[in-house]
Each structure stands twice: as C-alpha cells, then as structure tokens.
Amino acid sequence: MLFAFLGSSTKMLDGLFIMDLAIISCDVLYREVCNLISTSTNRVDATFLLKGLHDLGAEAMLAKVQETVDAIDQEERYEAILLGYGLCNNGVAGLKARLKYAATPEA
C-alpha cells in the first residue's frame, strides 16, 4: 500500500502525493524508464547501470547493484528506491535496502 512508505518529505499538490524516488535500472530500459519518469507526478532520479552487467554472473551483478543501492540508501532525500530489472541472471536476488523501501518488479 502506498501509504506504508510515505515519508516526511512527501508533499501533496492538487490532491496528488509527490514523492522523491530513485530508480536503478539496466540501461537496456533507458528509453522506457525515461518515458515513465517524464509522465510521473513524482520527482524521480535515475541511475542506469551497464547492460552487460548480467554477463558477469549473478554474484558480481548483485555486488554492483547492491553498491549502488547502498549509495542511494545513504542519501536522506529519497523515500523509496525502485529497480528496473527483470530476471537478469537472478542478479538482484538477495538485494537489500537497509534504510529505505525498495520495490522491484515480479515476474
């Protein structure tokens, strides 16, 4: 439920909640993610990681994505971290957001 992670920085404008979100995505989804951001009522900052990351194997991919999540997690301006990844060699299995809510799509 959306209200479960609305934070103190959530604003309301014209009856809509405005959230500060971060998304980490594979750059294969660059156009799609940018299109979604452009139509979102939220403030969204995107970080795109190299599309060949899954070729390194699940363990190395997880380490790089986790490093990126940890860096964003330390910033106090985001209410949630979104992930733009599919199954991608199970490279996001075991990913943890230590301080913030993280959302990833399910297959």
- Please give the chain's pLDDT, 107 residues, in tens: 334 444 555 666 666 778 899 999 999 999 999 999 999 989 999 999 998 888 899 999 999 999 999 999 888 788 888 888 877 778 888 888 776 666 666 65
| The overall pTM is greater than 0.75 | yes
- In angstroms, the CA 3 to CA 24 distance is 22
